[in-house]
Structure 1
Amino acid sequence: MAIQPIDPVSDERIEHKTTKLNGYTYHYLYAVPKGGQYTETVFLIHGWPDLSMGWRYQIPLLVDLGFRVVVPDMMGYGGTDAPEVPPNSIRLYGMKRASDDIAALAKELGVSRVILGGHDWGGFVVWRAAQWYPDLVSHVFSVCTPYSPPHDEYFSVEDLVKGPLPQFAYQLHLASGEVEKTVKDEQSIRQFLKALYGGRGPNGELAFDPEKGVLAENLPTIGESRLLNGKVLDYYVKEYSKHGIHSTLNWYRQRRSNWEEDQALLDKKIIKQPVLFIQATHDSVLKPEMSKSMGAFIPNLTRGEVAASHWALTQTPEEVNGIIRQWFEGQGLGRSQSSL
């Protein structure tokens, strides 16, 4: 039968929980198999502009496989705190801090080993968390986001755009402070989210271009998105309206601080845990060629791919879930309780 994604408004399969992690409040989704017995704990980490609910199609699969599933809203998003920068440090929105908070959440839940899954920025987080906390993280899977090892030389986003990754130019716009001037209330947040999830104007206009960023002039014309609509879109708009868009864009303002903290990982470039990487073949930003060298740093790497855009988790959930299920079974993890 078809996957029944988590309902954001009311779904008995999950609990909405909050906790303090290293001084800040986090909201997270919590799910366990019926009967409360589970074999392992899986943390799922979302990216931008997403929420914990971005994993709504994968949570039921993982619970069905016998896992406890924990899905936080990351710093600056939804029900999690969004500390202002300044006066707070931009490092609150960095990979090291995210890894520390994941470790704190694991401790809070009384678990000494976790499996990490990530998408978009969350993919970057799980790679680094596996390096910062190798004894905590037993397995890693990433959808769309390839592994990038720590570098001793700093490359700015401008350097990347001028060089191998012109499609990263949108990051310059997101970090500039310009987006908040347009995306600043419920209606503009709604149009923005529809645009980022593939909505178009009446003449096919787009309001997001990887080489430009958010095209503010097109936002008012954007129609419905097939990937984010109805009550799920309403939920996202409500959650993004709590803090506004600014705090989520801080993730694009800490490239240098991430690099500085990465210097402690230069001798840990090899990811030793078993890894699954799922490539979205039509991703216009995290393009397939970016993952070519991953095998040199990940000895135990399994690859999968789906014919999808960057939003593979919700665009092709059956295909993504099939690859995840097969990998878990191949690793001898989980147990199937029913057929999805």
Structure 2
Amino acid sequence: MPAIRPIDPDGDSRVEHKTAVLNGNTYHFLYGVPPGGTFHATVFLIHGWPDLSMGWRYQIPMLLDMGFRVVAPDMLGYGGTDAPKSPPEPISTYGLKRASDDIAALAKHIGAKQIVLGGHDWGGSVVWRAAAWYPDLITHVFSVCTPYTPPHRKYFSLEQLVAGELPQFQYQIHLASGEVEKAVKDEASIRAFLKGLYGAKGPNGELAFDPEKGILVENLFKIGESRLLNGKMLDYYVREFSRHGIHPTLNWYRTRRANWEDDLALLDKKVIKIPVLFIQATYDNVLKPEMAKNMDALLPNLTRGEVPATHWALTQKPDETNAIIKKWLVNQGFGTRSSL
């Protein structure tokens, strides 16, 4: 069993569920301060797909114990946060620039002049770009699984990436196609989908997800129980994903050109000089270790860590992941609450 007690989705005294209107959309976020109410810095935690703020349920208690104030939003399209329709809203609403702007707005809302920013999966992509867009706000960045990729002058489509060095990104074409939401459309199919994406298999080893194919719709209702997402936590996820359906969360996969267009303003900001931590998941079959080989030149203050986990390192190996994050934060001078 993990050494730390995760946040309880049915109510937990360590966090509050709050909302704020950020750039016109209402966000839901988890908000926690250490016992006694004093804190020495603020950490924002940004989730990926298909996840929620509750995906950080093992990291939030550790950070609170270290004396941090912790903020974990449901990102646009997810859970208790708004899911604007696109169209009529431009698809860039679900892009990395807009997410960065909303993080900055949330920091202003809670009165944080500077933040430490952590991300996983799509959240990792967000935090790297947010560091470039808001260098005065963000003092440190950590990313779990998601390597840093700099802005490019030339546009590369998903199809070009798949045909080149990243065949395992084929699934993103399927997720962007509009086909997935035709099959994942009610509570029962959302439940099966979530179990499958969090590692559950069918009786004969059937999978719900293949990096080079996408969602294996024909297997969804063969899927058994997941060790990573089950019980009342699975119930919580099913409720939260049933609010808007799966479609708006898939809009993130429709933003490649919009993100590239925004990135053109960052071509002179490819180097991120602040302290950064990258945690590789050894067995991630999409964000593979070789993708992170060449980051050092662009990240002069890079620290690397690795956990023997699949993509869901935050919940599969929480003690190991937390230990790496905690050691790095201590080395950055944050210390622990007991030593303040």
Whether 1:142 aligns to 2:106 is no
CA deviation map 1:111-138 (0-9, x unaligned) = 1100000000000000000000000000
2:328 alignment counterpart: 327
Equivalent-residue separation in structure 2 for 1:211 and 1:171 (angstroms): 9
Question: What is the letter of the counterpart of residue 70 of structure 1?
Answer: V
**TM superposition shift of 1:336:** 3.5
Equivalent-residue separation in structure 2 for 1:77 and 1:337 (angstroms): 36
Q: CA RMSD in A?
A: 0.9
Whether 1:62 aligns to 2:47 is no
Equivalent-residue separation in structure 2 for 1:313 and 1:336 (angstroms): 22
Equivalent-residue separation in structure 2 for 1:333 and 1:167 (angstroms): 38
Equivalent-residue separation in structure 2 for 1:302 and 1:241 (angstroms): 38
Deviation >6 Å, runs of 4+: none
CA contact (8 A) 1:39 1:334 kept: no
CA deviation map 1:225-253 (0-9, x unaligned) = 00000000000000000000000000000
Equivalent-residue separation in structure 2 for 1:301 and 1:207 (angstroms): 35
Q: Note the residue ranges of structure 1 that are not aligned, 5 or more in a row.
A: none
1:121 alignment counterpart: 122
Equivalent-residue separation in structure 1 for 2:87 and 2:103 (angstroms): 24
Equivalent-residue separation in structure 2 for 1:190 and 1:296 (angstroms): 42
1:175 alignment counterpart: 176
Equivalent-residue separation in structure 2 for 1:102 and 1:108 (angstroms): 10
**TM superposition shift of 1:334:** 4.0
Whether 1:20 aligns to 2:43 is no
Q: Which secondary structure state, in structure 1, belongs to the residue aligned with residue 140 of structure 2?
A: strand
CA deviation map 1:283-328 (0-9, x unaligned) = 0000000000110100000000000000000000000000011001
What aligned pairs does 1:128-207 form with structure 2 within 5 A after superposition? 128-207=129-208
1:253 alignment counterpart: 254
Equivalent-residue separation in structure 2 for 1:14 and 1:337 (angstroms): 20
1:292 alignment counterpart: 293
Q: Note the residue ranges of structure 2 that are not aligned, 5 or more in a row.
A: none
TM-score (norm 1): 0.99
Equivalent-residue separation in structure 2 for 1:177 and 1:94 (angstroms): 18
Equivalent-residue separation in structure 2 for 1:207 and 1:13 (angstroms): 34
**TM superposition shift of 1:10:** 1.1
Equivalent-residue separation in structure 1 for 2:208 and 2:109 (angstroms): 41
Equivalent-residue separation in structure 1 for 2:8 and 2:59 (angstroms): 12
Q: Which secondary structure state, in structure 2, belongs to the residue aligned with residue 267 of structure 1?
A: helix
Equivalent-residue separation in structure 1 for 2:250 and 2:313 (angstroms): 22
Q: Which secondary structure state, in structure 2, belongs to the residue aligned with residue 3 of structure 1?
A: coil
Question: What is the letter of the counterpart of residue 332 of structure 2?
Answer: Q
CA contact (8 A) 1:114 1:136 kept: yes
Question: What is the letter of the counterpart of residue 159 of structure 2?
Answer: E
Question: What is the letter of the counterpart of residue 152 of structure 1?
Answer: R
1:244 alignment counterpart: 245
CA contact (8 A) 1:272 1:300 kept: yes
What aligned pairs does 1:203-222 form with structure 2 within 5 A after superposition? 203-222=204-223
Percent of aligned positions with the same letter in both sequences? 73
Question: What is the letter of the counterpart of residue 24 of structure 1?
Answer: N
Equivalent-residue separation in structure 2 for 1:12 and 1:184 (angstroms): 33
Equivalent-residue separation in structure 2 for 1:292 and 1:316 (angstroms): 22
Equivalent-residue separation in structure 2 for 1:119 and 1:266 (angstroms): 24
1:100 alignment counterpart: 101
What aligned pairs does 1:66-105 form with structure 2 within 5 A after superposition? 66-105=67-106
Equivalent-residue separation in structure 1 for 2:258 and 2:131 (angstroms): 19
Equivalent-residue separation in structure 1 for 2:263 and 2:44 (angstroms): 22
Q: Which secondary structure state, in structure 2, belongs to the residue aligned with residue 146 of structure 1?
A: coil
Question: What is the letter of the counterpart of residue 155 of structure 2?
Answer: Y
2:278 alignment counterpart: 277
CA deviation map 1:156-189 (0-9, x unaligned) = 0000000000000000000000000100000000
1:228 alignment counterpart: 229
**TM superposition shift of 1:2:** 1.4
Question: What is the letter of the counterpart of residue 191 of structure 1?
Answer: A
Q: Paired residues, what number?
A: 338
TM-score (norm 2): 0.99
Question: What is the letter of the counterpart of residue 176 of structure 2?
Answer: A
Equivalent-residue separation in structure 2 for 1:39 and 1:131 (angstroms): 24
CA deviation map 1:67-87 (0-9, x unaligned) = 000000000000000000101
Equivalent-residue separation in structure 1 for 2:58 and 2:4 (angstroms): 7
